[in-house]
Amino acid sequence: MTEPADRLCVVRGGGDLATGVAWRLSRAGFPVVVTELATPLTVRRAVALSSAVLNETVDVEGMIGRLASSASEAIDIATLGDIGVLVSRDLPQLGQQVVVDARLAKRNIDTTLDDASLVVALGPGFTVGLDCHAVVETKRGHHLGRVLWDGSAAPDTGTPGVIEGRAAERVLRAPAAGEVRWHVQIGEVVAKDAELGMIGTELITAPFDGMIRGLISPITTIAAGVKVGDVDPRIDPALCTEISDKALAVGGGVLEAVLTGHGSRPAH
């Protein structure tokens, strides 16, 4: 078996769940490159490697993501122990042995079994053997983080997980298309109906008393209905700066798949 340091992992997407995946893989010794869009739509920016696209570097609990100007530079960064962040809509050819589709699009955009010797996908929209070698469950509950070597993950419910009785209302969505301008910052405590910002000419207010856990990057132009923020009823600053339990569970599932799968279903 090759050593982790010899198996480059490419994680497609740099959001908070993808960052949990990168955390688990890098902690186990795998070099990791993350690909992201030129304009990330990440909400939980304080714990997302995608923030390196706009800020050049990001520190997530001591894991450093560095923006690379080329594929070769991304590999160099990963080889030295940090996370190489590369702006690339398509899958770059880096000689990777593992590809993880962590874009959470709820559908398969362009991932194929031929992308690497082991292809792992997160959440619904993928079928093992057709789109990838393994799927990791992302739905909160008994099966969160479980590696599936047959079938598909649970279908998307369209409803966020419940936290202290709050579910769909936790998520802020753009009431109209336009440019995002915020009046508050991640980590700020707000009261119900407080003015949080504007999308174009439309005002966004707090749905309840809580803490701003995430906000999409300001001055981003988005379409109506896009998720732009996250309000948490729990007032705990660590929730803004630490990788979530869900991201770590999903990341653990990916690490299990990488360590045991090697491109085919492991023996039981």
pLDDT tens string 117-149: 999 999 999 999 999 999 999 999 999 999 999
Residue 260's pLDDT band, with cuts at 50, 70 and 90, is very high
pLDDT tens string 176-235: 999 999 999 999 999 999 999 999 999 999 999 999 999 999 989 999 999 999 999 999
- Average pLDDT in the 30-35 region? 98
* pLDDT of 265 above 70: no
Residue 5's pLDDT band, with cuts at 50, 70 and 90, is confident
Residues constituting the chain: 268
pLDDT tens string 75-104: 999 999 999 999 999 999 999 999 999 999
In the prediction, which pLDDT does 263 show? Answer: 47
CB atoms within 10 A of CB 93: 9
* pLDDT of 1 above 60: no
In the prediction, which pLDDT does 267 show? Answer: 46
- Average pLDDT in the 4-28 region? 96
In the prediction, which pLDDT does 219 show? Answer: 84
* pLDDT of 4 above 50: yes
* pLDDT of 253 above 50: yes
3-state secondary structure 122-134: ECCCCCECCCECE
Check if the beta carbon of residue 68 is closer than 8 Å to that of residue 84. Answer: yes
Structure tokens at 196: 């949080």
| Residues 6+ positions from 123 with CB-CB distance below 8 Å | 104, 106, 135, 136, 137, 138, 139, 153, 156
* pLDDT of 262 above 70: no
Check if the beta carbon of residue 228 is closer than 8 Å to that of residue 216. Answer: yes
Spans of all domains in the chain: 4-155+245-260, 168-232
In the prediction, which pLDDT does 268 show? Answer: 44
Do β-strands 134-136 and 147-148 pair in parallel, antiparallel, or remain unpaired? antiparallel
In the prediction, which pLDDT does 169 show? Answer: 83
In the prediction, which pLDDT does 182 show? Answer: 97
In the prediction, which pLDDT does 156 show? Answer: 81
pTM of the model: 0.93
Residue with tokens 């990488």: 258
Q: Which CATH number fits domain 4-155+245-260: 1.10.287, 2.60.40, 3.30.870, 3.40.50?
A: 3.40.50
* pLDDT of 165 above 70: no
Mean per-residue pLDDT over the chain, rounded: 93
**CATH number for the segment(s) 168-232:** 2.40.50.100
